[in-house]
Amino acid sequence: MMKFVIAGLLALSCGGVCIAQRQYKPTDQGSAIAFVIKNFGINTKGSFSGLDGSIGWDGQHPDSCVFDVSIDASTINTGNSMRDEHLKKEAYFDVANYPRIRFVSTGVTGPDRGGHYKVTGRLTIKNTTKDIAFPFIVTALGEDLIFKGDFTINRRDFGVGGSSTISNQLTVSLTVLAKKQ
């Protein structure tokens, strides 16, 4: 009899955690995936769209949260169509062979005193995967959520571009609107 009571309590407690985590879908509308990189010493801005994936979120239990989000690499937009076409080629993003840039979380912690969470995960660009980590904040928008964060990566770590006129470091800024499912 005691085994059944313990099993029942475990099932209820697991059910509470599973119910608390809500599923969200990132959307292009209301989101911005932007980057800044120096080109000839001048800041060059760009963006991506084609956001897709899923987010499992429970702010009370961040260790149970999961991000699996990607963008369409062919949507790169720097405001210069000739440059954008060049960036889609093999030496840079090679969108014909690697159409998506993907991030899959491996852990979430927080929030800290400032309300920031920290996500660690695996970023894949051109079939090269690297571990990254960055802080982010979450804001409720009705039943939906907005995730905001920034991180810096080295483009050469992912085999993106060989030009010496472009900085190796670029900063990515994320504002992701996730709709409750």
The answer to whether 26 touches 52, Cβ cutoff 8 Å, is yes
Q: Can you give the pLDDT at residue 112?
A: 96
Q: What is the pLDDT of residue 144?
A: 98
Q: In whole angstroms, what is the distance from residue 2 CA to residue 121 CA? A: 41
pTM of this structure? 0.87
Q: What is the pLDDT of residue 111?
A: 96
Per residue in 135-151, pLDDT tens? 999 999 999 999 999 99
C-beta neighbour count of 171 within 10 angstroms: 14
**What pLDDT is attached to residue 21?**
84
d(CA 63, CA 119) in angstroms, rounded, equals 10
Q: Which parts of the chain have pLDDT scores under 70?
A: 1-19
CA distance 111 to 87: 37
Alpha-carbon distances, residue 34 vs 37, 57, 130 (angstroms): 10, 23, 19
| CB count in 10 Å sphere of residue 161 | 18
Model pLDDT for residues 115-141, shown as the tens digit of each residue: 999 999 999 999 999 999 999 999 999
Query: Which of helix, strand or coil describes residue 18?
Result: helix
pLDDT at 175: 98
- What's the pLDDT at 9? 43
pLDDT of residue 162: 78
